[in-house]
Amino acid sequence: MNKVLFFAHLRDAVGEEFLTVNASGKTVAELKAELSAKYNLPKMETIMTAINEEFASHDEVIRDGDEIAFIPPVSGG
């Protein structure tokens, strides 16, 4: 299983700080698409992903036990 953490407006949209899902074998892009559809999340292409606190690209494959965090870049300043 995998713990998936959400930040900023994603957390509001999902309604939880984290979810536990089985994402093993999926790519980051696949997991994004799945969550985006399930929770009606805004576009996730430019949301950064960390796997075990390390930057991960869209095609990186998630392994069992990996912790995933979705970090939306914001533009306010």
Chain residues that interact with another protein, rule: CB under 8 A: 7-9, 11, 17, 42-43, 45-46, 48, 50, 53-57, 69, 71-77
- Could you give the 3-state DSSP secondary structure of residue 7? coil
**Cα 66 to Cα 77: distance, rounded to the nearest angstrom:** 33
State the nearest-atom distance from the C-beta of 2 to another protein, in Å.
17
Q: How far is the CB of 28 from another protein (least distance, A)?
A: 13
**Quick one: 11 or 26, whose CB is closer to another protein?**
11
Is residue 23 classed as helix, strand or coil in its secondary structure?
A: coil
Coil, strand or helix: which one is 70? strand
